[in-house]
Amino acid sequence: MKNGPIFFLCLLASLTFSWAGLALASHRQLSAVAPYYDVAEAKAFPEPMSGIAARGQLVYQDLGCASCHTQQVRRGDLGNDLDRKWGTRQSWARDYIYQGRPQLGLVRVGPDLANVGARLTSAADVYKLLHQGTATMPAYAFLFSESPAGAQTGAIAVGQVDGRQVVPTRRAMDLAAYVLSLNSPHVYGPEAAHNAVKPAAEEHKP
């Protein structure tokens, strides 16, 4: 440790090595992942996020929804994510290629939202959750505003207070669009082949 330059060089090399090994190597591997074109459906998956959903992701991000919800379905042998119907398969890296900032999350205070768009069918379902809350989620009153009953707001009213209708704000509408866009049921060919379980007979061939 007496030789200062070599000491600093070794420190920097250790950090650079881990950066190259984790950040650069994964970037090299995953930057090659592109939308998968399904010939049978004549369509590429996953589908790009709409503009309003992309704005909604910013709302999701700034409210810190990821501190209570994950967006990743674990593989079948790890936990009961599939049994809970949070998805029909585990999440793959390809599912996130259109997400500006993937919100994988670390704690499940509430349910996983990776495929919540398959469970909630309309914006009204999302507004109801946001306006009324649940046992584990508070009501987000600041995402709603009041307007005179019968006023043409272009938004779905979620209730009435003193004769005035409660309607979602622009941010609530964006957030609902984002939440409803979260759904990746498609089975991509390469991942399916890579993760396929080999038949037992084949595995035991000499």
Partner 1 sequence: MSSQPKAIISESDTTSRGPLALLLVSAFGWLILSTVLSLIGTIQLHTPSFLASCAAFTHGRVEAMQESAFIYGWAGNAAFAVSLWLLSALGGSPLRGPGLLATATAFWNLGVTAGVVAIAAGEATSIPFLQMPGYIQPLLFVAAAAITTPGVLAWTGRSTDSTYASQWYAVAAIFLFPWLFSAAQVMLLADPVHGITQTIVAGWFSQNLIALWLLPVALASAYYLVPKLSGRPVAHYQFAKLGFWALVVFGAWTGGRHLIGGPAPVWVPTVAVVALYLLLFHYVIVAVNLPAGLFGWNSSTTLRFVAFGLTAYLLNGLGDVLASSHAINELLDFTYFSVAQGKLLLGGAFSFLIYAAVYEMGPRITGIPWPSAGLIRAHFGVAALGTVVTVLGLAFAGWSQGHALAVTANGFAAIAAAAKPGLLIATAGEFLLLGAAIIAFIHLVRLQVESCCSESVVSDSPAKSAT
Could you tell me the smallest distance in angstroms from the CB atom of residue 206 to partner 1?
28
Amino acid at 46: P
Residue 137 contacts residue 110 (beta carbons within 8 Å): yes
Restricted to residues 147-176, the positions that interact with partner 1 (CB under 8 A) are none
Residue 192 within binding range of partner 1, rule CB under 8 A: no
Distance CA 125, CA 156 (A): 11
Residue 72 within binding range of partner 1, rule CB under 8 A: yes
Out of 56, 105, 117, 168, name the contact with partner 1 by CB under 8 A.
105
Out of 43, 47, 50, 141, name the contact with partner 1 by CB under 8 A.
141
Could you tell me the smallest distance in angstroms from the CB atom of residue 31 to partner 1?
7
Distance CA 7, CA 154 (A): 65
Distance CA 167, CA 164 (A): 10
Residue 18 within binding range of partner 1, rule CB under 8 A: yes
Out of 110, 128, 159, 166, name the contact with partner 1 by CB under 8 A.
110
Phi, psi of 203 (to 5 degrees): -65, -30
Residue 64 within binding range of partner 1, rule CB under 8 A: yes
Residue 130 contacts residue 143 (beta carbons within 8 Å): yes
Could you tell me the smallest distance in angstroms from the CB atom of residue 90 to partner 1?
8
